[in-house]
A and B are shown apart, each in its own frame.
Chain A
């Protein structure tokens, strides 16, 4: 509907200024009325400019997506499609993700997704159209992640689509009128950005403590890595010293069953969603990606978010914000100090830190699994995959956490490449298992059931707080008076798998983990708010910790408890009209009281007994 109206809008504008009635119609693929089997992918929009539609068919072409457009003039229209050939960066064979564009059911001759390796406009030729309504459809040809960002139809032969993504964004905004008229989301005390376990718990905790909250999440579901889109199970322990009631909320909203890369129902998306919907103090903004921040004197005034489907812009004003994006995006946009990669040993004297600092982060995962089918199931013998052989073949039916890649790349700027490489490895291996003489009988009945397209991240930016938690704090149990949520998992750091690295030099897609056990350790409150942005707190994997310390705090029961604490702190900020640092300096006793009380239902049985981790426990309690 959106593109339909906007299309009209631009036509009238242009027709006013031009005697030849030049008409250019811009259609956002993600705004299609009917998405068919295509999915909206917003993960890289800060880099390539927009969310887009993707045919994630895991080898089977997905159902067509379609939308209606009104053409004010009959005539010849030139067609341009913004797309890319994603497999071209690794293979010069036929492209993985190819698709056709259909106008009123008739396919253009051109096949899309097969040309440029980079995002750009592909010329699709010329079509003759009648005046009035037409149906535009995307027909997936391969089932292997063809992608379409936008379509332009123009009757102006001189028209050149804009390639520069920033200028293109200006154009989009002007075209749809979004920048002139961003919507005011309402009045809030506290705006939480990111709806993983950290953000979801922060929002609920604040709401139950009397705070009016907006929760912004850039996916259609809550849970982040613990959602059915990523399928990572919760880990770590709750209800520990020194605040045994922290974790009650995690226990309340977390899934009952454990396991990575399991069927969708394991992750209980609805449980988290309903918990949020049940809070009258929370306004939930699903499908909203926060991408702009207005700062004044080190204080955030507004956060802007864009609807990943309609492109509409919304702004949120509040005295207090929480960055639970995992990536520290809000802090980054606001100019908060942050850290990335691995600190050298001399920075904090950490025994596990490398001698020389580098940009190695833990990687991202595309998990997957197959299921046994009654009848044999085929899978395309792909030519664009990585070169594979029996030595490389992983004869398994599930890719768990250790299918991890992208260490050493930038988890924000290079993320499309990282995600795509993760998928490429899965498809390459699977195609081999299904089609090579050596394995095809064994895997004949296996059906590739699920491959993630939302990749799970472990590490990107860490925002600097008044304190940076380090390895020795954890291993020597140096506890501070402003301790909050206890972290209990091992210091669990990942490295490229040496065996896999030998087979795939410089491009391993599997990892190993190294563990150092610790006693449960309360994370200082000073790690949960920004050093230089006055009204920004954080919970999740983007808090103020060294790379080494991140190894333990990143577990989702722990990040959920950080969220519980943030919500409590937000209520104190509201009541005392103070900042997070003010809570630390002047009102910490109130936070201690709230942490002692807890925020979740204390009467529920502790059902989540999976994935507690090898904590150094001190004996019988």
Chain B
């Protein structure tokens, strides 16, 4: 409990070194009122590449305290990237033993890892109190389940720094990046070439940006893993589906997508005037099973009210023995198609 309180008080004491000539873009407030300042990191052309902050945080290991002086860097998405410490004040472990290169490597991997058990634990649960033989007092021993995860003798350094690197700063960075989303930034995101960046993109683009960058977004959907393509199509503004280019893209690529992406596309196509070739290619996708996809395709063909296409639809249904539900069957019979 003692060490927990200590940590809280010390976190409150966090502050960031103010650097002359640079203006912080925001400050990150910590639970107890302490804060640190975050700066943009731009390259020589002025292109935003990420963020940094110089942080001084007091940390205590088993009642031995010192000031951690550390520079943190994040990317545009708020992912922690790397840290640096001044040569003169390296990170230290219990009893002021400086970090070895291996310790630094381990800390780097800890700060970028989101699957650790100890980071999800309340500070007071990190140690178990053990009674020292012959001494009337308790000392803390790291809980066994997390021993492997942390640097021996630097438990609270790891814990405190992880929470700074991956705490509220992440959301602040993301909203700042989102505000600055422009063509240049879009290019940067595309370059990052990971699904997180791509999700960030599809969740941040304006309607106009979608319109202007549609070809790259569509390319991403072809490459994207998991549910990215589905989510991307769901985000593309509905009116863009009227575009001939997009409809042609679908003719060429619809069959490449997973069932759930196809379902999302079909949902977007509702109420959209569709070209004849697109409808024809969709009719080809019908299969004998009764599925949500069949239903949506049949409904789209009916809604587009083209006699010729309805005839093709009828033939395809007969040929493939497509399994319709009763409402669709009635409707098509009513239209004289079946």
A interface residues (Cβ-Cβ under 8 A, vs B): 241-242, 477, 479-483, 519-520, 522, 584-590, 592-593, 614, 616, 618-621
Is the pair B295, A589 in contact by a Cβ cutoff of 8 Å?
yes
B203 and A593 within 8 A (CB): no
Shortest Cβ gap from A476 to chain B (Å): 10
Binary contact track B169-185/A, C-beta < 8 Å → 1, others 0: 00000100000000000
In the complex, the answer to whether A621 meets B292 with C-beta atoms within 8 Å is no
7 A-B pairs closest in CB distance: A619-B199, A619-B196, A592-B292, A481-B259, A242-B260, A519-B226, A241-B227
A620 contact set on B, CB distance < 8 A: 174, 196, 199-200, 203
Q: Are A590 and B260 in contact (CB under 8 A)?
A: no
With A and B bound together, what is the CA distance between A590 and B328 in angstroms? 13
| Shortest distance from the beta carbon of B180 to any chain A beta carbon, whole Å | 17
CB distance from B193 to the nearest CB of A (A): 13
Determine if B292 and A589 form an interchain contact, defined as CB atoms under 8 angstroms apart.
Answer: yes
The distance from the CB of B280 to the nearest CB of chain A, in whole angstroms, is 21
Contacts of A241 in B (CB 8 A): 227, 230-231, 260
| Count of A-B residue pairs with CB < 8 Å | 73
B203, B263, B291, B293 — which one has the most chain A CB atoms within 10 A of its CB? B291
Q: Indicate if B228 sits at the interface (CB-CB under 8 A).
A: yes
Closest to B199 in A: A619
For B296, give the chain A residue with the smallest CB separation. A589
CB 8 Å contact bits of B186-214 with A (1 = contact, 0 = none)? 00000000011111100100000000000
Q: Which residues of A contact B260 (CB under 8 A)?
A: 241-242, 479, 483, 522
Are B291's CB and A481's CB within 8 A? yes
CB contact list, B285-318 vs A, under 8 A? 289-295
Residue of B198, B199, B293, B295 near A621 (CB, 8 A) is B199
Tell me which residues from 225 to 239 in chain B have a Cβ below 8 Å from any Cβ of chain A: 225-228, 230-231
Known: A242-B263, A585-B290, A588-B291. 10 other contacts (CB 8 A): A241-B227, A241-B230, A520-B226, A588-B289, A589-B290, A618-B199, A618-B227, A618-B228, A620-B196, A621-B199
Knowing A481-B293, A592-B292, A619-B196 touch, does A586 contact B259 (C-beta < 8 A)?
A: no
CA distance A585 to B290 in the complex (A): 6
Residues of A close to B259: CB separation below 8 A: 479-481, 483
Taking a contact as CB atoms under 8 Å apart, the answer to whether B227 and A589 are in contact is no
Which chain B residue lies CB-closest to A242?
B260
**Which residues from chain A contact B263 at a C-beta distance below 8 Å?**
242
In the assembled complex, the Cα of A587 lies from the Cα of B230 at a distance in Å of 24
Q: Is the interface of A mostly helix, strand, loop or mixed?
A: loop
B325 within 8 A of A: yes
Contacts of A519 in B (CB 8 A): 225-227
Q: Mark B232-263, 1 if CB is under 8 A from A, else 0.
A: 00000000000000000000000000111001
The reply to whether B225 and A588 form a contact with Cβ atoms under 8 Å apart is no
Closest A-chain residue to B293, C-beta based?
A: A481
Report if B166 contacts A (CB, 8 A).
Answer: no
The smallest beta-carbon distance between A52 and chain B, in angstroms, is: 38
Q: How many chain B residues touch A (Cβ–Cβ < 8 Å)?
A: 28
Tell me the smallest distance from the CB of B67 to a CB of chain A, in Å.
Answer: 34
- State the Cβ distance, B76 to closest chain A Cβ, in Å: 13
Mark each residue of chain B from 257 to 294: 1 if its CB lies under 8 Å from any CB of chain A, else 0.
01110010000000000000000000000000111111
| Chain A CB within 8 A of B115 CB | yes
Chain B residues within an 8 Å CB radius of A586: 289-290, 323
In the complex, the answer to whether B195 meets A618 with C-beta atoms within 8 Å is yes
Instruction: Pick 16 A–B contacts, CB within 8 A, sort by A.
Output: A241-B260, A242-B230, A477-B225, A479-B260, A480-B259, A481-B291, A519-B227, A520-B227, A589-B290, A589-B291, A593-B292, A618-B195, A618-B196, A619-B197, A619-B199, A619-B200
- The CA of A520 and the CA of B260, in the complex, are separated in Å by 13
Which of A520, A585, A614, A620 is the most central at the interface, judged by chain B CB atoms within 10 Å of its CB? A620
Contact of A614 among B115, B199, B200, B293 (CB under 8 A): B115
Contact (Cβ within 8 A) B323 A585: yes
In the bound complex, how far is the Cα of B292 from the Cα of A522, in angstroms? 16
Tell me whether A590 and B196 are in contact (CB under 8 A). Answer: no
Question: How far, in Å, is B171 (CB) from chain A's closest CB?
Answer: 10
Query: For the complex, what is the distance from the CA of A480 to the CA of B196, rounded to whole Å?
Result: 24
User: In whole angstroms, how far apart are the Cα atoms of A204 and B259 in the complex?
Assistant: 29
A618 touches B292 (CB 8 A): no
On whether the beta carbons of B226 and A618 are closer than 8 Å, the reply is yes
Q: How far is the CA of A586 from the CA of B115 in the complex (A)?
A: 43
Min distance, Cβ B164 to any Cβ of chain A, angstroms: 21
Q: Give B19-61 as 1s and 0s: 1 = Cβ < 8 Å from A's Cβ atoms.
A: 0000000000000000000000000000000000000000000
Contacts of A520 in B (CB 8 A): 226-227
What are the residues of chain B within 8 A of A592 when measuring CB–CB?
A: 291-292
- Is there contact, CB below 8 Å, between A588 and B227? no
Instruction: Determine how close the nearest CB of chain B comes to the CB of A479; give it in whole angstroms.
Output: 5
**Contacting pair B225 A618 (CB below 8 A):** yes
Nearest chain A CB to B279's CB is how many angstroms away? 20
Closest CB of chain B to A561's CB: distance in Å?
16
- Closest CB-CB distance, A611 to chain B, in whole Å? 11
Partner among A477, A584, A621 whose Cβ is within 8 Å of the Cβ of B289:
A584
With both beta carbons as reference points, the residue of chain B lying nearest to A476 in the complex is identified as B225
Residue numbers in B under 8 Å from A614 (CB-CB): 115
Q: Residues of A contacting B295 with CB < 8 Å? A: 589
